[in-house]
Amino acid sequence: MSALTAPPLKASRPINTKASEPINGHKGILLSDGTQLVNMRMAICQALYEEMKRDPAIFIMGEEVAQYNGAYKVTKGLLDEFGAERVIDTPITESGFAGLAIGAAMTGLRPVIEFMSWNFSFPAFDQIISNASKMCYMTGGMFPIPLVMRGPNGAGPRVSSQHSHAVEALYSHFPGLIVVSPSTPYDAKGLMKTALRQPNPVCFLENEMLYNYEQDIPTADYAIPFGKGVVRREGGDCTIVAINRCVHWALEAADALAKDGIACEVIDRRTIKPLDIELIAESVRKTSRCVVVEECYKTGGVGAEIAAQLMERVFDDLDAPVGRVTTTENPMPYAANLEHETLPKPHRIIAAVKQACYR
């Protein structure tokens, strides 16, 4: 199976099935067609397990990643497999272990650090921005930084304002960082393997609401290159560009819009930086309309960058301004009904597409 030929997006089993939670976090359920059923957390754990087996320079550290198996059980079973020298629990000091990881990467190791949430990466912001992203450049290439920083990004269920930041626009602003955000187990494993094999610092943004999402994926080794998006649904009336769980909301919106005679093409960016702008532009040349969906805020968001690049490339093909559906610009409320209206849920996507189509 080609890295760019993803299996169907729809889960092949209901999520939260007990059968998909074996003792070892990296072992999926083998299926009769030679594939395996895994959920998102298992796919990431499987990539970590396989690459740690392949490359002894890879090690993991973070808060509760070892004895507790990770706050979201993404590192489940890895301490038993690789021992305390390669799976390391740290104190609650993001700046400290981020700096330690950067130093380790400079000496030839390949660290993976888990932020229990990307909201907690802010204490390490100076290490990530001033050191991880710039060290290779500032040393003329003498010190590559093969560092993977991973953890859940965006809003969880009713975790309120301090735990609901979407950081992709923030970190994609700085040269030297690669920013990745998978929407499926297939993509999570393939992109993580790429992240663990290349020499640059990677911000690997997951979402806790997708950790139980299941999919049949290959048992054979595969990797997905950075900067290559994928068309999740074809259509000719409007392009919807999304990433991570916004892809699922976009597909739900596209299903509803199809009943009104509007055929949407849904593009999953997979990576924010590098951005597959050519895939997006090719789709917009066909549909003449575009709506970008993201969990970031509208001001300074990734959608603004995509809109600007589309203006530069396909201005004459656009029949309407590029629409943006984002998290509303307020601290995330705790109340479920207010959270629903704050996030870029399907009902807001539907409204934006209809506006782009003058409906």
pTM of the model: 0.92
**C-alpha–C-alpha distance, residues 121 and 112, integer Å:** 14
Beta carbons within 8 Å of 350's beta carbon, 6+ residues apart: 253, 256, 257
Q: Which of 51, 94, 168, 305 is catalytic?
A: 94
User: Is 94 in the active site?
Assistant: yes
**C-alpha–C-alpha distance, residues 210 and 39, integer Å:** 8
> What's residue 33's pLDDT?
82
Walk me through the domains of the chain, giving residue ranges and CATH numbers: 18-218 (3.40.50.970), 230-356 (3.40.50.920)
Q: What is the pLDDT of residues 201-237, one digit of tens each?
A: 999 999 999 999 999 999 999 999 999 999 999 999 9
> What's residue 20's pLDDT?
40
Our CA angle for 219, 222, 194, nearest 5°, is: 135
User: Is 282 in the active site?
Assistant: no
**C-alpha–C-alpha distance, residues 290 and 293, integer Å:** 10
Q: Which residues of the chain have pLDDT under 70?
A: 1-25
- Where are the alpha helices (H) located in the chain, listed in sequence order? 40-54, 78-82, 94-106, 125-126, 135-138, 168-172, 185-197, 245-258, 277-287, 302-314, 336-342, 346-356
DSSP assignment letter at 333: P
φ/ψ region of 357 (left if φ > 0, alpha if ψ in -120 to 50, else beta) reads: alpha
* Half-sphere CA count of 274, side-chain side, radius 13 A: 10
Q: Which of 50, 81, 163, 173 is catalytic?
A: 163
Token pair, residue 199, equals 């020499």
Element (H, E) at 238: strand 238-242
